[in-house]
A and B are shown apart, each in its own frame.
Chain A
């Protein structure tokens, strides 16, 4: 007992405090193979394996679905179709009824599930699924943005328009004006762990679903809805995902609902892990866009007005296409002030898979358009693009109103870019590259420095809330649970650091546990980079509630003021009493002090009126910039990324090692999107790049030869975020734009930088080569 004057070791700092570069909380399990993913959970006796039967047509009536051969196949236990859904046959999060679990009389994309078959082994289920006899009556299929935009323009959800100033007048009066169109491709998530769900039937209406999802609460709702049971009967749990990137925000619903349906129908556990090729065809991807732009500007390159139309391939259903295309508009300014602007979205319905969330959530597509516009101006004026970028940056005191009428109140982009520009020797290298290109006939180098400003918060205001549950046990060990999910981003590590910091105990004493709807209910998706901002604060509030009770207890017990109770590293000081955390906890327990608390957090200050296009949708902005140098072989269009320098703003980083990892990984993923990753559908709407054999994501050899990544120093978040850190999940993704622009710069050199290359994305070697050809022809006056 503390009174017995036990020696309490004095330490200067706890292990795993906030701002320390802790390894990932599961790293030791990742490297030893002990980390359990859904497919590694010991299989319950009698488990059934599920496979999906998919549509072979992009748009067709199903006139007959004969599953007799499927039912008769070896090992098959049950086959389910739309007719077997006891509740509502809809897995869309908005309840629009446009996204059936199983299609029945109408199929709307190749790969849309028609039925599921459960068998004793996975192999049996997959073989059986291939035996369906489906008779289709083809309907006209809209497969591309162009076909949708130039045809009836059916939208999957209501579009949005943002306006500031009078853009029409600004364009009419501008000294100069340019118009153009930019195409930017989609992207497959390629989370290394495919989608997977394991459902275990329980008593009465209950079911437990282990599922690789970023949004357990939504899965819970969808499963309940499909089974026609109360939400409270469904428990959804996930300890970790093998990657998510937005691809498991809504896309896990289907797999979970299907497994749960079979589990409840058969009374046996059911597991569904699609084969990688099926995962590619069934699940949505990043939206590809075609963006029409018009910009008015002065002879100095200052933008006076902008109009943009963002046509997106939404696929056959709404899913998240509304908020994704909204976010494209929110980021169509990137770091630049548009005195007048009109930005419109067009979420077009197509007979392809329903596109969905992917890191950046439309923001990257918006920013790519902003950067293209800047490039156009630079080429028109014969100026360096960086000069034009800097000239158009948001101001600090003025020139700071966004097209959605939020003031940019924390602008640090001018200083950040100036620092990177000097650090990476932009201008010296610019001169050296020009000299190199003058000498080198075939190999041309390119250089570009692009900035990023990314708005942090869900634009759906009600999503900006989080809950947590902290238990302190009588030996001083702690469990923390919260609504966020771990997909490799280090959320559980950061939350454990926050709790350790609050109690001033070593992080080894704090155990993050699996996310489950049974512990923390009504959670938001772990998305929008908000995981730590929201859940970290909620966990902090829970820990502080317990701390307050402990402090009140200690104050009373030892007769000091509550604020004289100090949680120092590894010990608690109450007046002249000193004790360890476990000692205090035990004493408090004996005195009947509650040692468990929930915590809650909601982001302050934000509001958004979508119809009016006005509000403050973002709590703050995260900033960054990257400078990339590439070498292009002008005979083949092939290229290498020679060097990348990044300076990124994480506020006061909670964990610099994890944050740097997010930046490196985000950058390479963004670079992959804009350069090598190409989704290709054929004329029948079949995705022909449906496996890693044909869909190329960056491999080890593609990473930049020189890769310097630095966090911005002395840049605490100006808003009251958790320990003044900033969100880091999505913003670095868009640093990859610097590679696209470096390629554009290299390509432009073949025509002496006279013409804007208008290089679309992905800038595959084929597209680079074609652009070189186009520029050469133009230069020759052909």
Chain B
């Protein structure tokens, strides 16, 4: 049965008529045209499809679009600032070589941002555990962890600057 799903994606309200069983990842990639969210495994194992739903990371291949009707969704395309400046976590992945083929990267970045948001004082061990649901076949994770550490520092510094400005 087709149904109408409405959500805020990267700050814009989108509404689409879809089959009830449409997955969030299909909704984003095929109906909204945001292909930065990748499908690596189709079965909620690899984390390539992670997006934020109301600020928390979610595997969009294991979520129905209908389940998040009315929610606020952020994809990798919505992370950068309006002027195109990369989010500190994105910049850190680029600078610290936390990627090779790049296919896992959007999911890694989205998971990492959520990790920092929920725990600003992340330890190396927290990162290790926090990224267990995101598989990378290329990097051996070494630079990914370094990137997340640097990204966390930059996010915290931004946060501190914001508070100081207020």
* Chain A interface size range: 35 or more
Establish whether residues A276 and B86, one from each chain, have CB atoms under 8 Å apart when the complex forms.
no
A489's contact among B40, B42, B100, by CB below 8 Å, is which?
Answer: B100
The residues of A that contact B137 with a CB separation of less than 8 Å are: 189-192, 243, 245, 665, 669, 697
CB distance from B34 to the nearest CB of A (A): 7
Q: Which residues between 23 and 37 of chain A lie within 8 Å of chain B, taking CB atoms? A: 23-24, 26-37
Q: How far is the CB of A529 from chain B (nearest CB, A)?
A: 15
Q: Inside 8 A of A242's CB, which chain B residues have their CB?
A: 38, 40, 101-103
Q: Which residue of A lies closest to B78 (CB)?
A: A33
Q: Are A693 and B43 in contact (CB under 8 A)?
A: yes
- Determine how close the nearest CB of chain A comes to the CB of B23; give it in whole angstroms: 10
Query: Of residues 120 to 166 in B, which have CB atoms within 8 Å of A's CB atoms?
Result: 127-129, 131-132, 134-145
A661: shortest Cβ distance to chain B, in Å?
5
What is the CB-to-nearest-CB distance from A732 to chain B, in angstroms, rounded to a whole number? 9
Q: How far is the CA of A736 from the CA of B116 in the complex (A)?
A: 32
The answer to whether A31 touches B35, judged by C-beta atoms less than 8 angstroms apart, is: no
User: What secondary structure prevails in chain A residues at the interface with B?
Assistant: loop
Could you say which residues of chain A place their CB within 8 Å of the CB of B14? none
Asked if A703 is an interface residue, CB under 8 A from chain B, the answer is yes
Whether B36 pairs with A33 at a CB distance below 8 angstroms is yes
In the bound complex, residues from chain B placing their C-beta under 8 Å from that of A692 are: 41, 43, 45-46, 135
Inter-chain contact total with CB atoms closer than 8 Å: 175
Q: Which of A95-122 contact B (CB under 8 A)?
A: none
Q: Indicate which residue in A193, A245, A490, A699 contacts B40 across the interface (CB closer than 8 Å).
A: A193
CA–CA, A242 and B97, complex, Å = 16
Complex contact B138–A32 (CB within 8 A): no
Write out the residue numbers on chain B whose beta carbons fall within 8 Å of the beta carbon of A34.
36, 77
| B26-62, CB < 8 A from A | 34-43, 45-46, 48
Residue in chain B with minimal CB distance to A192: B103
For residues 171 through 214 of chain A, which have their beta carbon under 8 Å from a beta carbon of chain B? Answer: 189-194
Is B41 within 8 A of A691, CB to CB? yes
Cβ of B100 and Cβ of A657 under 8 Å apart?
no
Interface string of A681-710 (1 = CB under 8 A from B): 000000000011100011111010001010
Chain B residues in 8 Å Cβ range of A190 = 135, 137
User: C-beta contact mask, B70-99 vs A, less than 8 Å → 1, else 0?
Assistant: 000001110110000010001101110101
User: A40: nearest residue on chain B (CB-CB)?
Assistant: B35
Cβ of A369 < 8 Å from any Cβ of B?
Answer: no
CB B94 to nearest CB in A, in angstroms, measures 4
Residues of A within 8 A of B100 (CB): 24, 243, 488-490, 661, 665
**In chain A, what residue has the closest Cβ to B139?**
A665
Is the CB–CB distance between B101 and A701 below 8 Å?
Answer: no
How many angstroms between the C-alpha atoms of A667 and B140 in the bound complex? 7
Among B40, B80, B90, B103, the residue within 8 A (CB) of A276 is: B40
Interface hits, A193-252 → B, CB 8 Å: 193-194, 240-245
What are 15 sample pairs from A and B whose C-beta atoms fall under 8 A apart?
A24-B102, A29-B102, A30-B102, A32-B86, A33-B77, A34-B36, A193-B101, A241-B101, A243-B100, A244-B101, A664-B139, A665-B138, A691-B45, A698-B141, A700-B128
Known: A192-B135, A700-B134. 8 other contacts (CB 8 A): A23-B97, A28-B94, A30-B102, A31-B106, A32-B79, A192-B101, A699-B131, A699-B132
**Which 3 A/B pairs are nearest by Cβ-Cβ distance?**
A33-B36, A488-B101, A30-B102
